[in-house]
Amino acid sequence: MTKTVVDVHHLEKTYGKAGERPYTALKGLNFSVAEGEFVGIMGASGSGKTTLLNMLSTLDTPTKGDVIVNGHDVTKMRGNQLSDFRAQEVGFIFQDFNLLESLTAEENIGLPLALQGTPSKVMDQAIQAVAATLSITDLLKKYPAQLSGGQKQRVAAARAIVHQPSILMGDEPTGALDSTSARELLDLLTTINRDQHMSVLLVTHDPFSASFCQRILFIKDGQIGSELKRGELDRKDFYQQVLTELGTFSE
Amino acid sequence: MLTKLALAGVKNRRRDYLVLLAGLTMSAAIFYMFANLATNQAFIKANAVVKSASVVFGFGAVLLALITIVYIMYANSFLLSMRQHDYGLFMMLGAKRRRVGQLVFLETLILGTIATAIGIVLGIVVSKLLVGFLLDQLGLHLAHLTSFYLPAVLFTAVLYIGLFILASLFNLTRLMRTTVQQLLHADQQANQPKSRPFRQFILGLIGIGLLAVGYWALAAIEQLQMTAIPLALVTITLGTYLLFHAAVLAVIRGLRRTTWAKKRLNGFLLGQLNFRVHDYTRMLTIVSLLFAMALGAITVGSGYHRQMPMTADSLGAYTVAVHDANAHQKRLIKQLHVAHQATYTQKVQGKTTYYNAAELKAQPFQLIKSMQSSANGRPHFYTEPLAKFKTSGATQLDFIMLNPNKLGDFAAPKIVSATAFKQLKGATYRVTTVRVKHMADDLTVLKQLDHSEQRRFPQTASQLTIGTYQSFEMMNGIFGGLEFIGYFLGIAFLAMLASCLMFKILSGAPGDLRRYAMLNKVGVRRGLMRGSLAKEIGILFAIPGIMGVIDVLFGLQMFKPLMGKPMSPYLGIGTTFAIFIGLYVIYYVITLGLYLNLVMPRDVARD
C-alpha cells in the first residue's frame, strides 16, 4: 500500500460576501494522490481548476471539507504555519514563472533553502545538483531578465524542487512557453517524477501537457466529471485518448 | 468615454492619489511659508539687522526652488508609474495617442492645480500657527510678520503651476515615445547595474576628494568669504553622489558574496537594494544634502537659542538690579537660582549718586574679568580693595548704571565715608544686585522682574542696558531673526526631504507588490517579509541620514565666525541631533506604514 500525499474530502468553495448572490466554484470534491504519482487536473476555463490548486497550496481557504497534504490538515493551519507549509511541503511552478528579477538564477533557486536556514555549503551543493539535473548550470549567475522563457521556467522548476518538497504543483507551467520548451519542461517533470519519486500535480487545459500524466481528473462545474488512467499505454496513444475524452466530456 | 474611463481609474486608486495629493499640497504649503518670509520686504528690512540675513534668504529661496523642482519630478514619476499601465491599456484598446496624451496632460495639470490651491491655503493657516508657535517658544517678537502676503501667494502659484505645466509636457513626451508594450510591462523590467570595479574605485576616490574640498571650503569661510558656500554646495553634491555610487554598490556586492546573504531573506534584501540604490543614487544625494541643511539650520537656530543667555552671562557682573524691592519683586528674587547677591544704599543729589564706603568695604562690588583674559571660556568674577575700586571698578559701566536716576542725565557715582554718607540729604534707595547661576534657567522670572523694575524706573536711554538680562534682550532682538530663520528652514527642509524620499520609495511600490506576492506564494512568513521591507527602507533612509550628519558636523565650521566665544556652533548639538533624528525616524515609520499597506499581500480570509 503506497502512502497518500494529497487527500481531499468533500471540498467546497463558495465565493461572495454576505448579502450577495453566492457562487459555488467547487461542489464537494473527493480525490487523492499517492506518493510518486503524476496526476493531471483538466477542465475548461471556469471549471474550478485554479481554485482547487489554490486550496491545495493554502493560498486560499475552502468553505467546507478537508485537504490533507502529506499528513497535514491544511484547513486547520493559521498564519505562519501556512507560510511554513508552503515553504517546506510544496514546490510550485507558475505560468508566469514568478522569479524575482532582483536576484540571480542561483539566488532564486536558493531561496526556499535560505528560508529554512540551510547552511550555505549544503545550499550550494543542493543548487549545483538540481542545476545539473535541469541543465541550467551555466545560467546560474544570470538574472531572469537575461533568460528566455524556457530557461526561466527551468529555473523556476529548480526552485520548486531544490528543497525536496512532498509534492510539486504546476499551474499551467507550459502556458507561456513555445512548443519545444514546453516539451523539454514536461520531459524534465517526468524525469523528476520518475527518478526522485516526487509526486507531481499538474493543472492544465492543454491535452498535450496532460498526456505526460499517469492519471487525469476532469473537472466540470466544480465536480470531478470523469477520470482517465494511462496504465501501460504509450504517451502518444494516451494523448489520443485524452483528446477523445475531452471531445465527449465537453458535450 | 475615455475621460470617463480615466476618471474611473483615478477613483479606483484614490488612496494612491491621496498620498500624492497630500505630498504635493504639503510641498506647496512649505514653499508658500518660505516665500512669505523671503519676499516680504518689510519683514526683512525690519528684522535683518545682520547684513547677511538677506543673503541667507536668497540662497534659501533658490535652494527651495531647486528642491521643489526635484520634488515635483519625483511626484510626477510616481504619478506616471501608477498610470502608465492604464494608459497602455487604453492605447491597446484603440484609443488614439493624441487623445491619451490630452488625458495625461490634463490629469497632471488638474492634480497640480488642486494641490497648489490647497497648499497655499494650508500654507497661510500653518504660517499663522507655526510662526506664532515658534515666536512664542523662542520668546521673540518679529515686526511685520503676517501670514497672508499677496506677492508670496502669486509667486508660489506661478512657480508651481509653471512646474506642473512642465511636468505635464514631460509626461506627454514620455508617453508619446514609449511603446504600448513598454507601458504595459513597465514594472516588470529591472536593469541590473553593470559592475566596473576599477572605474568605481577611481570615482569613489574622486568623490572623497571633492568632499574634502567642500568641507575645507566651509571651514575656511573667513578666507573665502561668499565663494565658500557655492563652492561647497557643488563639491559636496558631486562628492556625495560619486561616493554613494561607488561605495554603496561595492558594499552590497561584497555582502552578496558572503554566507550571510544566504540566510533567510538577506539575499533578497541585498538584491532589492542593489538595483534600488543604483536607481536612487541621485535622490539619495539630494536627500543627504537636504538632511544636512535641515539639521544644520536647526542646529544653528537652537545654538543661538541656547547660547545667547550663556553669552549674556559673560557680559556683566550682575543679571538684574532692583531698587527698593517691593514684596512682589522680593518674591520673584527668591525664585531665582542666585549665584551672588548684594545690597547697597544709595543717596541721590541732583545728578550724582552717593555710596557708603563702609558698605562697599563690607560687601565689595563684584566685577567681571574681560573674556580675553579668562582661559576656559567661562566668565570670571573678582573684587578689588576699596581704594583701587574707587579709581578702577567704580568707573565701569556695571557700577555706574546702578543709579536710580535713569530718566535724566547722571554724573559719575561718588563713594563717601560712612559718616559723610549719613549727613547727606536727598532721596535714599536700596539697590539689590542679583547674579543668577545660569540665565537660561531663570528667563521667565527675570523677565517679570525686569518688567516690574522698568515700570517703576522707566528708562529712556534704551541703548544702555542694566544688568546682563537686558543685554540678553537686546541680543535677542538682533539675532532672534537668525534663530527663527534657522528653525523655520530646518523644519521646511526636513518636511521636504522626507517627502522626496517617501515618494521615491512609494513609486517603487507597484513593482514590489508583485515581488512580495511571489514571496508569499513561495511560502515566506509575513513577519519575515515585513522585517525585510523595514530593513530595506530603513537602509534607504539611513544612508542619506548618516551622510547628512557628517555634512553637518563639518558644515558647522561655517558658523564659527558668526558665533564667537563663548558661543560655539558645536555646543550642545547632541539634543538637537537627537530631536531631529527622532523626527526623521517618525517619517521613516510613516513611510514604512504606507509601504506595507501598499505591497503586503492581503491575509487569506479564514472562515
Whether the per-residue pLDDT at B137 is higher than 80: the answer is no
- Mutant choice from A101, A118, A140, A171 vs B, greatest count of B C-beta within 10 A: A101
Q: Which residue positions in chain A have pLDDT lower than 70?
A: 1, 18, 249-251
Provide the pLDDT for residue B59: 66
Write the residue in B262, B518, B522 that is nearest to A120 by C-beta: B262
Q: Which pLDDT belongs to residue B370? A: 66
At a CB cut-off of 8 Å and minimum separation 6, what does B550 contact? none
Q: Identify which of B190, B264, B521 has the shortest CB distance to residue A145.
A: B190
Q: Round to whole Å and give the CA distance between B276 and B558.
A: 34
The mean pLDDT value of chain B amounts to 77
Work out the average pLDDT over B427-433.
84
Among the residue ranges A2-11, A17-26, B403-412, B523-532, the one predicted with the least confidence is: B403-412
Tell me, what's the pLDDT at B605?
42
- Grid coordinates standing for B320? 538684574
Residue A101 to residue B268, Cβ atoms within 8 A: no
The pLDDT of residue B140: 63
- Residue A45 CA to residue A25 CA, distance in Å, equals 12
Strands A38-42 and A199-204: parallel
pLDDT at B434 over 50: yes
Q: How would residue B607 be classed by pLDDT, with cut points 50, 70 and 90?
A: very low
Grid cell 488638474 — which residue? B110
> Residue B386's pLDDT band (boundaries 50, 70, 90)?
confident
A41 bridge partner residues: A203, A217
Q: Which among B522, B536, B602 is the top mutation candidate for probing chain A, defined by the most A β-carbons within 10 Å of its own β-carbon?
A: B522
DSSP state of B77: H
- The pLDDT value recorded for residue B606 is 40
C-alpha B127 chain-centroid distance:
15
Q: What is the pLDDT of residues B440-496, one digit of tens each?
A: 788 888 888 888 887 777 665 444 567 788 778 777 766 666 677 777 777 777 777
Q: Are B440 and B309 in contact (CB under 8 A)?
A: yes
The grid coordinates of residue A16 equal 461572495
Yes or no, beta carbons of A110 and B607 under 8 Å apart? no
What pLDDT sits at residue B139? 64
Asked if B515 and A110 come within 8 Å (Cβ–Cβ), the reply is no
Contacts of B513 in chain A (CB under 8 A): none
- Spell out which residues of chain A touch residue B194, defining contact as CB-CB under 8 Å: none
**A114 interaction partners in chain B (CB closer than 8 Å):** 262-267
d(CA B357, CA B363): 10
Decide which of A109 and B131 is more confident: A109
Q: Check residues A152 and B7 and name the one with the higher pLDDT.
A: A152
Of the candidates B323, B363, B374, B372, the one whose C-alpha atom is nearest the C-alpha of residue B340 is: B363
B525/A84 Cβ within 8 A: yes
**Residue A125, C-alpha cell as written in the block:** 551543493
- Mean pLDDT in residue range B384-390: 80
CB contact under 8 A, A88 and B527: no
Contact B119, B153 (CB under 8 A): no
Smallest CA–CA distance, residue B81 to chain A, in Å, is 18
Report pLDDT digits (tens) over B202-248: 888 888 898 888 888 877 777 766 677 778 778 888 888 888 888 88
How do the domains of chain A map onto residue ranges? 37-61+84-249
Looking at the predicted structure, is the pLDDT value of residue B508 above 80? no
- The whole-number pLDDT of residue B500 equals 73
**Secondary structure E strands in B84-136:** none
DSSP string, B474-504: HHHHHHHHHHHHHHHHHHHHHHHHHHHHHHH
- Report how far apart, in Å, the C-alpha atoms of A151 and of each of A146, A185, B208, B268, B441 are: 10, 9, 43, 21, 73
Residues of B with CB under 8 A from a CB of A: 188-190, 192, 259, 262-268, 271-272, 274-275, 515, 518-528, 604-607
Interface test with A, best of B182, B525, B532 (most A CBs within 10 A): B525
Fold designation for A37-61+84-249: Rossmann fold (3.40.50)
For the segment B45-52, the average pLDDT, to the nearest whole number, is 55
Q: Distance, in angstroms, between B283 CA and closest chain A CA? A: 20
Contacts of A12 in chain B (CB under 8 A): none
Identify residues of A whose CB sits under 8 angstroms from chain B CBs.
Answer: 57-61, 63, 78-80, 82-88, 90, 92, 94, 98-104, 107, 110-115, 117-118, 120, 123, 143, 145, 159
Nearest residue on chain B to A85, alpha-carbon basis: B523
Distance CA A55, CA A67 (A): 8
When CB atoms are compared, the residue of A87, A103, A104 closest to B524 is A87
Q: Considering CB atoms only, which of A83, A110, A120 is closest to B524?
A: A83
For residue B356 the three cell numbers come to 557708603
Cross-chain Cβ contact B518/A100 below 8 Å: yes
The answer to whether A174 touches A206, Cβ cutoff 8 Å, is: yes
d(CA A152, CA A93) in angstroms, rounded, equals 11
Torsion of CA B71, B74, B76, B78, to 10 degrees: -140
The confidence score (pLDDT) of residue B142 equals 63
C-beta atoms of B526 and A80 within 8 A: yes
Contact: A83, B192; criterion CB under 8 Å: no
Contacts of B279 in chain A (CB under 8 A): none
* pLDDT digits 0-9 by tens, B175-189: 777 776 666 665 555
Assess contact for A4 and A32: CB atoms under 8 A. yes
Backbone dihedral angles phi then psi of residue B382, each to the nearest 5 degrees: -150, 170
A 10 A CB-CB count for B467 gives 26
Q: Quick check: A46 and A209 in contact, CB under 8 A?
A: no
Residue with the larger pLDDT of the pair B140 and B427 = B427
CB contact (8 A) between residue B271 and residue A90 = no
Residue A78 DSSP SS3: coil
A28-42, B31-45, B400-414: which range is least confident on average?
A: B400-414
The residue-averaged pLDDT of B31-51 equals 67
> Which region, left, alpha or beta, applies to residue A144 given φ > 0 means left and ψ of -120 to 50 means alpha?
alpha
CB-based burial label for A14 (10 Å; 0-12, 13-18, 19+): middle
Give the rounded percent of residues in chain B with a pLDDT score beyond 70. Answer: 82
- Looking at the DSSP bridge assignments, the partners of residue B344 are B431
Residue of A nearest to B256 (CA): A107
Chain A: give the shortest CA distance to residue B514, in Å. 9
- For B118-128, how does the pLDDT look when each residue is reduced to its tens digit (9 = 90+)? 989 988 888 88
Contact between B558 and B297 (Cβ < 8 Å): no
pTM of the model: 0.72
Of B171 and B463, more confident? B171
The chain B residue lying nearest A13, using CA atoms, is B607
User: Rounded CA gap, B37 and B146, in Å?
Assistant: 9
